[in-house]
Every structure is written in C-alpha cells, then in structure tokens.
Structure 1
C-alpha cells in the first residue's frame, strides 16, 4: 500500500510504500493523509464455488450445501431484488459467501449454533473475498432478532427439530413479500415446513427437486 501524508506541503509532504502488515504498525502517520491499495494478485472469480474449496466443519463433506443446490437456492430467492438475507444454520458459510460475492449490495446476517462456526466463516469469507457478513453464534431461537436488519429473504439451513416454531419466529420479522427457502432432505422435515408455513399464513410458491451425484434428492421449497 501507499501512504501520502501532508500532500501539497512542499516542506513536509511524505509518501511511503510498504506492506499492509508494516503499515498497521506505524505510529507516526501525519494528518491529513490518503491511502492507496495496490492489487498484487487477481482473485479467482467463481460462479458456483466447488465444495472442495471450502474449509469444512471437522472435514465433514456432507456438512455443506452442495454447489448445484446452493446456486439453485440463490436463484430461487431472487437475491438481485432483495436487500437483507438471513442465513440460519450457516455451518461453513457457503450460502452466505456465495450470496455476498454475487450480490454485494445485500446485508447478510448469518446464524450458527456451533461455536466453531465463527472461525470457519472467517476463514472461508477471507479466502473468497467476501467481507461484511454479520456472524451470530448461538441459538437462533433465543436471539434478540430486532437488532438485525429485517429480512426479505431467509434461507434455513438448520433448524434443530424446531422448524415449525422457527418459521413462526421468522415471520414476525420478515418484511412484507419476504420469502423463506428450505432444502428438505426427508418427509419429516417437509411436513414440518408445510405445517410451519401454513400456521404462519404463508403459501408454497415454488418447488424444485435436485439430485447431486449419489446423494438422495433434495426438495427446495420456497414460501411467501
């Protein structure tokens, strides 16, 4: 990076070029000043980050929303026309990170009950260049949700068996015309989603069935 200090001052003007790590330790920077960051390498651009590129939760390859399903999720949520996304049960952070990369205008709030999720999100967000994701660690059902931007898009990646009550809670904060998306992997979870959305006065708007490799088919449900 480059630091310009007292620019235009013929006597005291100073321009320094140094690594960011060294600049962070400087204690004698003069005011006013300006900073210039110089790109030293080009970050690879993905349209659907391969699952193998993510740091995983304890190396468990099944604990991630598979890339083809992830991209279908983002498309069905119509995030280009949304302002605030809640990602509940983010685990590796793959959905939040992919959303931030393709829709940088989004305010993204990501929730995860596992404490190790905080470092995992930080690692993956840094690796792929997706800053600005708000990470919340703890039980979603016990959070003070009014301190976060109200969502118009919600992705439920984990529910701990509380899907019906979780949908009821989300509905209290969901903006008008907001949407909830859920990847169902079992008949039981599908029944819970149907029950939860029905009780919340929502309707199933769209359903998509996807099978990846030898994994069981996933049913993507969107309610509004």
Structure 2
C-alpha cells in the first residue's frame, strides 16, 4: 500500500529534521522536491533512492502511485499554504506530514509580531488584486508573494486604498547565513528599484485613513461600479442587500448561486464576508457583466467569486450543486429558473428570490405552491432616503422589494 511522507524542511540550513522524518527519508524509494530541497537532504537518502523533481500537481498523483514508500519535500510547514492539503485530499488515508518552522514564523520572530494577531495571505500564484479584501486600517498581514506581488507592487496597492502610512517588513532568505530584514515605508517602495530575493515574506502593518475597502457588511452603493450614475444602475441597494445576506446565512464550504447578478452588489458582499465559500454569479447583459467583473477585482474577491456571462436557466447546467441560491433577476424566465434552481439545490439548502412587480410576486407564490415546501420567510423591504423637493426636506421612498425563500427538506 502506498505510504506518502510529506516533510517540511523548515527555514534552517541545513534542515532540522525529527527522527521520524529522517527515518522516512532513509526508507524512501523515491523523494520528490525542488533541486534545492533535494540537495539539502541528499546525505540522508539510501543509495537506491530516486531523486525526482516535483512535477505539476496534475501529474503528481499518477507519479506517486508508482511507489510504495515515497517522500515529498515541502518548504516550512506543508499544511500552511503548502502541498500537504492537496495530498491529503488525493490520498486521505495514506499521508503523514512532518511540519518544519515556516517562513511566516520566521518573519514573526524578526518583527516581534504574534502569529495569532496576523492575517495570513498567500499571493503566490494568485492575482495581486486578491490582496484588496484584507486592506483595512490597523491590520497586520503576513504575505506569501511571487514575482507579481513584490514589495513595490504591495506598496502601490496600499497607496491606492488610502493606506499610504503603512509599514512593510521584508524578510529575505530566512534561515540562511545571508538572511536579511528591511523595513520600508510605502513612499520608499514607490520609488525603489531594489530587486528582492525570490525567497522572501512581507509583513504589512496597514496604517492610514483607509476608508476605501469596507470594514463591515453593508457597502455603500456609491462604492460599486455600475451601469448608471454613481450609486445607481442595476445594483441591489444596501439595505435590501443586507436583508438578502441575512436571509441566505452563507456558511464556510458552501456553494452559492446569484442568478441575475447585475453589477454584483449581492455577489460581491456574499463572497467578501464568506471567504471560505464559493459564489457563482450569472449575468447575461454585457455592460452589467463588465461592471460585475470590475467590482470583483475592486473588492478582491477573485478567488471565490466565479462569474458567468450566460442566460439562466441554461447557465445553471454545469455549475456545482448549490447550498444557497438567490434569484435577483430572470429576464422573463422566472418560472423556469426557479424550477431549475430548486431541483439543483442540495437538501437543507435555501432558495431566495426577490420581486418588485405584482406579476413576479404571483409567479413566486405559485412556484411555492407547486414544490410542496412551506415558505420559510416572506417579507417586504421598503426604504426611504433623504431628498429635496422645492427646497424642502423629505424622505423619498424607493420601490418596495418582496423577498420570499424556501428551505429544501432533507429526503
């Protein structure tokens, strides 16, 4: 039976390995790792052991199955943004991990930052804009980076969200004899031409007025990019959006569908405040879809907000089964969309829809009669906002929005 030992080498040179980790290396038929990693453990391997460069993950599973005793080398802690999670998912009963001291722990040691007070962020292989979701004032960020998220790129992003008083601590080649630690201001890095070693971690202390990225649910309508004037266009207004999010009660690991997502007001907040869930937003209108994409980038939810420029219900066919569904627009196909969404919804899941016109409301109520499930919630949200009329103050009402939802029973 295949046995996979995943060994984190830590940041010490040479690596400080436990006795079980050394024993695993001595007994391995093959060891996978980078050239640098393989060199660091070469003296611990048996003569018959194959040393193999770590391939792409899409190829690794098949190659590992050619052996019975195999070791995969990792840097630092393989279960902290490392290969350990992937291997546990592929071989649930056959993986043992030995953790080393990670570069993030080494960065904390140099800066005096307590690990429990920091937000861990990996930009390695991820878009730089995904950092934006974490950019509120007075936060401590521990950041894994790559060639597209060098300290200068981080400084540019901080300046763009009004956090120009932040400090960036760059920790290079941790654990090596030429280890280096430098502290920079945003302004210093904006003009810096310094080339940083690929092996580095950046600690960011966010400081400054901020106010660009939201601190709490209920993003102002004016913060969204829309297909109309600022704060208008096809965008679910803040008060209604909060009611929708409250009714959905999205949880970690859950899949959500936002059908008729418009410019992305609901989908963006759904993804932003539930970072461990996945949201699929469907919008066929070209200009609104462009706004949806732009808002996804602006609020840094690229990793867990997936956008689809298609019509529903046809667009729903190949999506993962949802735990929560919100239908905010239908393009005239409301009945078919509701039926398709209900069929795809997982048992215990919730289907929520909004309606403005009496005809749409009647369609939703008829749908509820056909599925044999009780209505979980039925409410109308009416919002009035301050305005002027002939120089006098008044509260001008928006159109009331009906929200109706059903919970799918367990079989």
TM over 0.5: yes
Question: How big is the shift at 1:171?
Answer: 1.8
Among 191, 200, 203, the alignment partner of 1:34 is 200
- The aligned residue for residue 122 of structure 1 is 293
2:342 and 2:351 in contact (8 A); partners too: no
| Structure 1 residue 37: Cα displacement | 5.3
Give 1:110-149 correspondences, 5 Å limit: 110-131=281-302, 132-143=304-315, 145-146=317-318, 148-149=319-320
Aligned length: 217
1:10 to 168, 177, 181: 177
- Tell me how far 1:211 sits from its aligned partner: 0.9
Q: Alpha carbon RMSD of aligned pairs, Å?
A: 3.0
Tell which structure's C-alpha radius of gyration is larger. 2
User: For the structure 1 residues 83 and 212, does the alpha-carbon distance in structure 2 shift closer, same or farther, using more than 3 Å as the test?
Assistant: same
C-alpha separation between the residues in 1 aligned to 2:218 and 2:174? 44
Matches within 5 A, 1:155-170: 155-170=326-341
> Residues 161-191 of structure 1: CA distance to partner in whole angstroms, max 9, x if unpaired?
1111111111221000211111111110011
Taking structure 2 as the reference length, the TM-score comes to 0.47
The answer (yes or no) to whether the contact 2:252–2:276 under 8 Å persists in 1 is: no
Change in CA separation of 1:203 and 1:162 when aligned onto 2, cut-off 3 Å:
farther
Which stretch shifts more, 77-86 or 46-55?
A: 77-86
1:151 to 2:317 alignment: no
CA distance in 1, matches of 2:335, 2:342: 11
Q: Taking structure 1 as the reference length, what is the TM-score of the superposition?
A: 0.81
Relative contact order, higher structure (CA 8 A, sep 6+): 1
Spell out, residue by residue over 1:50-92, the C-alpha distance to the aligned partner (whole angstroms, 9 max, x if none). 2122111143825211111110111112224771211011111
Contact 2:328 2:353 in 1 (8 A): yes
CA contact (8 A) 2:380 2:402 kept: yes
**Contact conserved, 1:57 with 1:120, CA < 8 A, in 2?**
yes
Flag the 1:19–1:83 CA change in 2: closer, same or farther, 3 A: farther
C-alpha displacement at 1:219, in angstroms?
1.3
Which segments of 5 or more consecutive residues in structure 2 lack a partner in the other structure? 1-150, 152-168, 385-396
String of CA shifts for 1:189-222, please: whole Å, max 9, x gaps.
0111122333344332111111112122221111
- Which residue does 2:273 correspond to in 1? 102
Work out the CA distance in 2 between the residues paired with 1:209 and 1:150. Answer: 28
Who is 1:180 aligned against? 351
Q: Secondary structure at the match of 2:286?
A: coil
Secondary structure of 2:275's counterpart equals coil
Q: Which residue of 2 aligns with 1:89?
A: 260
Equivalent in the alignment of 2:249: 78
